[in-house]
Each structure stands twice: as C-alpha cells, then as structure tokens.
Structure 1
Amino acid sequence: MKGFVKDIESLAISNDAFRRVLYTARHCQLVVMALKPKEEIGAEVHQLDQFFRVEEGDGEAVLDGVRTAIHAGFAVIVPAGAKHNIVNTGSVPLKLYTLYAPPNHRDGVVHQTRRDAEADNEHFDGKTTE
C-alpha cells in the first residue's frame, strides 16, 4: 500500500524517542516526538510550515514570544518564519506528533535524545519513504 495509514495516537504515545521520522512524502513529513519533563524542542525558525498535535502530557507552545498552555488534544500550527518552541511543563513525557511541509529531516531518522538531535547535522536529503 502506498502512503501511511496507521493509528497515530498509539504510535505517538508509545514513542520514547525525542524524534522519530515515521513517513516522508515529497511535500510533507510525519514525525513523532517525546519530550521529557522540563525538556523542550528548542527555539527555532523554519522556512516551512509545521503542525503539532499533543497526544499526552502538558506543555507550552511558544510562537513569536507568545506562550500558550497546551495538553492532550491541542493542535499548534506554526507558519513558516515564526520563531517557535514546544516545552514540556509537566511531570510526565509530552507525547506529540508533527507534520512538516515540506519535509525537514532525513527519512527514517531516529534521535533518541535531544542531545543526539543537536549533535546530528542531518537535513532532508530529497529521499522519500516510497
């Protein structure tokens, strides 16, 4: 079967890696993330659009300096060029998934920790899942 058809909520909740790329298409990419208590993605700016959905935990979305509390069920859309960060403000892991449009990471990449992600200078190389 072409494409990706799976239970994203279960995949996001069961993921323990900081970042895990699940599927890369030509124009978008699906990634699950798990942030430890008090951990954050880190302030960044992309020249692409990004969507986040929280499946478990409590956190804060920071978009161009505006802080908003988020928890399971919340969606966040970050337009290209916006400085943003997601911070786990809770006492349990913050489980979420994100869609990049277009893709931002190398297909299939897994970063177990934020430190691993920061040490890896990888970027989308044009290769898709299929």
Structure 2
Amino acid sequence: MKKEKIEMKDYGAAPFAVDLKAAAEQNENYRTTLWTGDHFQVTLMAIPPRGGDIGMEIHHGNDQFIYLVDGVGHVQMGKDKDKLTVDRKIYPGEAIVVPDNTWHNVINAGDTVMKCYSIYSPVKHDHGVTETTKEDAIDQEGPLEGTGE
C-alpha cells in the first residue's frame, strides 16, 4: 500500500484523520505544528543525528506526550534538574510522558535523524509554527522554558 503524501501544515481545529507515523516520517523540520485545537496540539519533530536534542527544559502548564517513530533517543527527566529520575534510551514504538513542571531533554543517540510526534495539553505553540532547526525555534519562540538558552 502506497503511503499518502501529507501536506506539512497546521490543520487547525477542523476534524482531521491522519497516519501520524507517516506524517512524522515525512517531516523534515525541527518542529511542525500539525493540528492545533482548543485543548491540545500535535507537533512533528525531526532531531538531528549524533547528539541533536530538544534541550533541557521545563514546561509550566503543559503535559507532553512524545512518541518515537524512527531513530534512537535518550531521554532524561525529573522534577529536580540536578536529580533526574529517568535516564534511558528509547526506541521506535516507545513513548515519553512528561508531566507538567518536569525537567526533560530528548537527545538523538543515533546516526540518523530521529523522528517523533508530540502531543501537548493544553496547546503549547502558536498555530502554524514551522521551525526548521532548534536555533530557528529559539529565535521564533525565545529561550527554552526554565533556561536562558
């Protein structure tokens, strides 16, 4: 079966059905918002190989779910930035659940681009955000939450 080509855009709050794995595989941007509703948001991410990461950060007011589609990741998390309680590799088909007010970082531990999708509740990013690189994301949205980076 041939996979459909998915247009990389934010489909807003309209009813929407999509193969999220295929969308994540097709995404080439660091972050692309795919669907932004009133109560949650779906983003796609492509993290560069050999140590690319999202950066150690903390969200205030958002829970986050990250599902790894392709590549090998390394996740670190904890309520205290200096005492991380989760420190492990993740593989395709595995998920990361980041509760509100939890420090976290996801690092690409492999030699290929790591592809994932992320669900934020409530909405975290502006509707229609497309960021080609982590640096582009920081330029558009400011420093990572909880850091001066």
Task: Report if TM-score (shorter chain) is over 0.5.
Answer: yes
Q: Write the letter of the residue equivalent to 1:56.
A: D
Distance 2:107 2:45 in 1: 12
Larger radius of gyration: 2
d(CA) in 2 for partners of 1:121, 1:91: 28
2:40 aligned to which of 16, 28, 43: 28
Match of 1:18 in 2: 30
Per the alignment, residue 55 of structure 2 pairs with 42
TM-score by length of 1: 0.90
Question: How many residues were matched structurally?
Answer: 122
Give the AA of the match of 2:72: D
Counterpart Cα distance in 2 of 1:115 and 1:59: 20
The answer to whether structure 1 residue 89 and structure 2 residue 102 are counterparts is: no
Alignment RMSD (CA, Å):
1.3
Cα offset, 1:32, TM superposition: 0.2
Percentage of matched positions with identical amino acids: 34
Q: Give the C-alpha shift of residue 121 in structure 1.
A: 2.4
TM-score (norm 2): 0.79
Q: What amino acid does structure 2 have at the position aligned with 1:55?
A: V
Secondary structure in 2 aligned to 1:81?
A: coil
SS in 1 for 2:141: coil
Query: CA offsets per residue over residues 41-80 of structure 1, 9 Å max, x none?
Result: 0011112100000000001111112211101000110000
CA distance in 2, matches of 1:4, 1:85: 29
For structure 1, the residue ranges without an aligned partner over 5 or more in a row are 123-130
SS at match of 2:57: coil
How far off is 1:2 after superposition?
3.3
Structure 2: distance between partners of 1:121 and 1:55: 25
SS in structure 2 opposite 1:12?
helix
Equivalence for 2:91: 71
Give the counterpart letter for 2:105 in structure 1: N
